[in-house]
Structure 1
Amino acid sequence: MNGTPGRPQLADLEVGQTVGTRNVTLERRDLVRYAGASGDLNPIHWNERFATEVGLPGVIAHGMLTMAAAVNLVVDWAGDPGAVVDYGVRFTRPVPVPDPGVATIEVTAVIGVVDVEARTVRVDLTVTVDGARVLGKAQALVRL
């Protein structure tokens, strides 16, 4: 086969094919680190009292952190972060992060569309925590 060794080949892919699964754990210190790196210092991501006062189940993970944790499965599968040319999600429910403890984000990636002419595949992600979807319509477009 032609292509870069270790990277998926368009001819080998079909709709419905699972390209990977992964569990990502987040704990409170991950939220603090992400807040510092992103500049998103909203107290719902670090202050339990504040989060519950505004109606949340407790401190929650940043939406963009959850989104990034999910797409990293696709990036690793593609073998090149630049191969992911589009990515979008709908945030469907928050990801509570207990203290002490961790939130486990479960990610499954499946081929949704193969476009041979454009040399792209759409990868559909199922992203759940404790069996409940936290990202809806999570789709990455990958150019191979």
Structure 2
Amino acid sequence: MTATVKYDEVEIGHAIPAAEYAVHRVNLVMYAGASGDFNPIHWNERFAKAVGLPDVIAHGMFTMAEAGRFVTDWAGDPGAVLDFGVRFSSMVVVPDNEDGAVITVSGVVEEKLDDNRVIVALTARSGDSRVLSKARATVRLA
């Protein structure tokens, strides 16, 4: 999904095929280092369960970043995203096993604007849960 998408090639309702992003605990530790968010709910199973969580959970901003990656991969240019916002609606639980968790992101072109801009509505799920809501990105296409 790295080819450059052209504005004239998409219409309202254009579906962007889903992509899956594997999440393992090592990814959360690396993200903690990059973000400075070392909250133990993101890496320490004993602590996460002690505070009432089902297991270690991914950082909300990590989940948002995967959705942003989806959009930039589709557009073919990281600088194409002009505006991006989400609400966090559920947790990405990351068990300590080979499979870890999976975040599945898909999108649809919701609106076409002037200046080669489109608004993309995103759906992000992990397991049976929608993990982001009201996820929208304004993207300038070629």
Name the structure 2 match of 1:108.
Answer: 106
Name the structure 2 match of 1:3.
Answer: none
1:47-85 CA-to-partner distances (Å, cap 9, x unmatched) read: 111111212111000111111111211101111111101
- Normalising by structure 2, report the TM-score: 0.92
Name the structure 1 match of 2:136.
Answer: 139
1:79 pairs, out of 76, 80, 88, with 76
Distance (whole Å) between structure 2 residues aligned to residue 26 and residue 7 of structure 1: 26
Name the structure 2 match of 1:130.
Answer: 127
The number of residue pairs the alignment matches comes to 138
What is the DSSP-based 3-state SS (H/G/I as helix, E as strand, rest coil) of the residue aligned with 1:95?
coil
Distance (whole Å) between structure 1 residues aligned to residue 28 and residue 36 of structure 2: 11
Give the AA of the match of 1:113: E
What is the DSSP-based 3-state SS (H/G/I as helix, E as strand, rest coil) of the residue aligned with 1:23?
strand
Identity %: 52
1:85-132 CA-to-partner distances (Å, cap 9, x unmatched) read: 1100000011110011310111111111111x2321011111001121
Give the AA of the match of 2:60: G
Name the structure 1 match of 2:13.
Answer: 16
Distance (whole Å) between structure 1 residues aligned to residue 14 and residue 93 of structure 2: 30
Distance (whole Å) between structure 2 residues aligned to residue 105 and residue 77 of structure 1: 16
What is the DSSP-based 3-state SS (H/G/I as helix, E as strand, rest coil) of the residue aligned with 2:71?
helix
Name the structure 1 match of 2:45.
Answer: 48
Superposed CA RMSD: 1.1
Distance (whole Å) between structure 2 residues aligned to residue 131 and residue 16 of structure 1: 24
Give the AA of the match of 1:17: H
What is the DSSP-based 3-state SS (H/G/I as helix, E as strand, rest coil) of the residue aligned with 1:123?
strand
Distance (whole Å) between structure 2 residues aligned to residue 52 and residue 131 of structure 1: 21
In the TM superposition, what is the alpha-carbon distance from 1:20 to its structure 2 partner?
A: 2.7
Q: Residues 60-99 of structure 1: matches in 2 within 5 Å?
A: 60-99=57-96
